[in-house]
Amino acid sequence: MTSAIDQPLGFWRSYVFSQDHKVVGIQYALTALVFLLIGFTLVMIMRWQLAHPGLPVPVVGAWLGARAPQGIILPEFYNALTAMHGTIMVFLGIVPLAVGGFGNYLVPLQIGAPDMAFPKLNLASYWWYLAGGVLMIASFFLPGGAPQSGWTSYPPLAIINQGGQTWWLAGMLCLVTSSLLGSVNFITTIVQLRTAGLTFSRLPFFVWSQLVTSFLLLLAFPPLEGAAIFQLMDRLAGTSFFLPSGLVVSGRVLHNAGGGNPLLWQHLFWFLAHPEVYVLILPAMGIVAEIIAANTRKPLFGYRALVHSSLAIGFMSLIVWAHHMFITGMGTTMSSFFQTTTILISIPSVVILTCLFLSLWGASIRFTTPMLFALAFLPMFGIGGLTGLPLGLAPTGLHLHDTYYVVAHFHYIVAPGTIFALFAGLYHWFPKVTGRRMNDALGWLHFWGTFVCMNLIFMPMFFQGLAGMNRRLYDGGLQYALDKNVVGLHLLISRAAWVMGIFQLLFVVNFFWSAWRGRRAEENPWEATTLEWASASPPTRGNFASPPIAYRGPYEYSVPGAQLDFTPQFAQDEM
């Protein structure tokens, strides 16, 4: 990069094809928020079918066309909704927001760098992501409709399905490329571009979480790329990587070479998709840690334990994948190994959660809007994590497999868990990004509405799952006698989901109103200590007037003897 800082760039290079990490971060964040809204809309339609099976969908039913004649959702369309909800939320919503959005915007600022190490790769990374997202969404408009084999795309179903599975795979290859470019960029940036004085032991925990996340994306995504290539070959070139011999489809024997192994896909898929769970949660933990430190006005409890635990999670997450496959008959030896590693990985997760809880001890807490979300993250992630233990143990996992219990468990981790952390981050860094504060009254309403609805949605699912309700039923379990005591909960869950949708409108209004009309924010509105608060709000191109120097660790709050209750990393003397 040799372009002079004062040289003005045109509209296209400033806002569309920008190499500035801040613009790329905002592009990622806005696109991901739109995808999150799309994914949530799909599930709100789906919830209608579960609450009122066979009745026409109100409001949007007329727009669904042939997928829902007279507004009544067809089973194929219901399957497409579930598959695309999962895909969109994980691959197009949360990860791009947590890593592409927050990571891109904040990592260079928090390490005092002028930009990412490879700005052009950063630009390319966003456009690969957008291309992948558009390909996947476009599959809704294909003759066969969107993919119908779940976000996991298990063969043989995914291969014999007529729908847009090929587009899903092509989109996935774009997303893998995007995350490859991103993760190479993040790791290089964090290792190489730390400013003077910013040793690894002085890195904010958020940066550590992004570093571990990037390694997971770098090393775990390529096996899924390989698997996607195999599945594309199966669909397009007629190979049989995942198709066993003598497969019978609709009463007819399939004429393929055979000899393939459907379990191979599951191994390759979960080799990515389990680390992916930690890709979803680690940046969330990083965000929550920053917000807790700034709003408790004291140093994070156990910074070193947090860092070591996140590294341990990173390594361990690569050897737990087959706990998703206890029921496949891969054998008790395999199950024992993966159940052991799965129980072990809960230790560093608990260490992190405990450190964050203990950080609250004796603190003078500021109950700001971001802090509300960050505080709610702790018990919500706790519920999600602890209810995961029975799934990690093979004997109980076999019974709970594919019930609503599983849905409740992982949604407690990603919805009131990660998404709360992401909302917390949006409220917390909004003043830095826009130079204006978000409205606290709307934020307070948004928080409590979302918090109550989230629990009304996912808590009943534990009971449904424990009662044995299967999670893939088009009619929500009406046809089964064993579900009759819990099937009524669908109505409560669905209504809570729609009410939660209304509460999200408060956020949308707050977001856009505050961006233009909000109260102005100074450089460091939260009186926080990390380096991003040394830059202007919003930061100019190149981020800092001169490279900042880190004189101390990231969380020097309430230092004894100091005048103020915070001493930023960039302050030479105690304030």
Partner 1 sequence: MEIPYTIDRRTDTGLYNAQLGMWLFIASEVMLFGALFSGYALLRTGADAWPVGSRHLSVVLGSINTFVLIASSIVIGLAVRSLRRGQWRRGRRELAITCVLGLVFLAIKAYEYREHMLARELPSTDNFFAVYYTLTGLHALHVIGGLIVLAYLVGPGASMWRRQPVRFVHRAAGVSIYWQFVDLVWILVFVTVYLL
Contacts with partner 1 by CB under 8 A lie at 1-5, 113-119, 180, 183-185, 187-188, 191-193, 218-223, 225-227, 229-230, 233, 237-241, 256-257, 259-261, 264, 267-268, 271, 541-542
Residue number, 115 or 483, with CB nearest to partner 1: 115
Cβ distance to partner 1 smaller for residue 82 or 256: 256
Least distance from C-beta 214 to partner 1, angstroms? Answer: 9
H or E stretch at 511: helix 489-517
Q: What angle do CA 11, 14, 15 make, to 5 degrees?
A: 80
Residue 33 or 181 having the CB closest to partner 1: 181
What is the nearest approach in angstroms of partner 1 to the Cβ of residue 359?
A: 30
CB atoms within 10 A of CB 163: 22
- In the complex, the smallest distance separating the C-beta of residue 333 from partner 1, rounded to whole angstroms, is 16
Cα separation of 461 and 406, whole Å? 9
Sequence-distant (6+) residues with CB within 8 A of 369 are 427, 438, 440, 443, 444, 446, 447
CB atoms within 10 A of CB 508: 12
DSSP string covering 252-294: EE--S-----HHHHHHHHHHHHHHHHHHHHHHHHHHHHHHHHH
CB of 182 or CB of 554, closer to partner 1: 182
Cis-peptide, bond into residue 156, ω within 30° of zero: yes
Smaller CB separation from partner 1, 144 or 542? 542
Q: Is 516 exposed, middle or buried (0-12, 13-18, 19+ CB in 10 A)?
A: exposed
Name the one residue in this structure whose structure tokens are 């119908």.
148
CB closer to partner 1, 25 vs 443: 25
Antiparallel, parallel or unpaired: β 248-249 and 252-253: antiparallel
Does residue 102 contact residue 30 with C-beta atoms inside 8 Å?
no
Say if residue 340 is exposed, middle or buried (CB neighbours under 10 Å; 0-12, 13-18, 19+): middle
- In terms of CB distance, is 59 or 253 closer to partner 1? 253
Cβ 419 vs Cβ 368: under 8 Å: no
**Which CB sits closer to partner 1, 257 or 347?**
257
- Report the largest interatomic distance among the alpha carbons of the chain, rounded to a whole angstrom: 81
Q: How far is the CB of 86 from partner 1 (least distance, A)?
A: 22
**Alpha carbons 277 and 388: distance in angstroms, whole number:** 12
Q: Which is nearer to partner 1, 185 or 387 (CB)?
A: 185
- Would you say 195 or 537 has its CB closer to partner 1? 195
223 or 477: whose CB is closer to partner 1?
Answer: 223
CB of 25 to partner 1, least distance (A): 16
Please state the closest distance from residue 17 (CB atom) to partner 1, in A.
17
Residue type at position 52: H
Neighbours of 519 (CB within 10 A): 12
Residue 152, classed as helix, strand or coil, is: coil
Give me the least distance between CB of 253 and partner 1, in Å please.
16
CA–CA gap between residue 214 and residue 187 (Å, rounded):
7
Which phi and psi (to 5°) does residue 403 adopt? -105, 175
Least gap, CB of 277 to partner 1 (angstroms): 18
Q: How far is the CB of 184 from partner 1 (least distance, A)?
A: 5
Count of CB atoms within 10 A of residue 266's CB? 22
To the nearest whole angstrom, how small is the minimum distance from the Cβ of residue 116 to partner 1? 8
Look up residue 50 and give its DSSP letter. Answer: H
Closest distance of CB 303 from partner 1, Å: 21
338: which 2 tokens? 């993966």
Q: Which is nearer to partner 1, 483 or 532 (CB)?
A: 532
Nearer to partner 1, 57 or 180 (CB): 180
Distance of CA 476 to the CA centre of its chain: 26
Shortest distance, position 329 Cβ to partner 1, whole Å: 14
Q: Cα–Cα distances in Å, from 566 out to 62, 297, 413, 528?
A: 57, 7, 32, 7
95 CB contacts (<8 Å, ≥6 apart)? 179, 276, 279, 280
Find the shortest distance in angstroms from Cβ 229 to partner 1.
Answer: 7
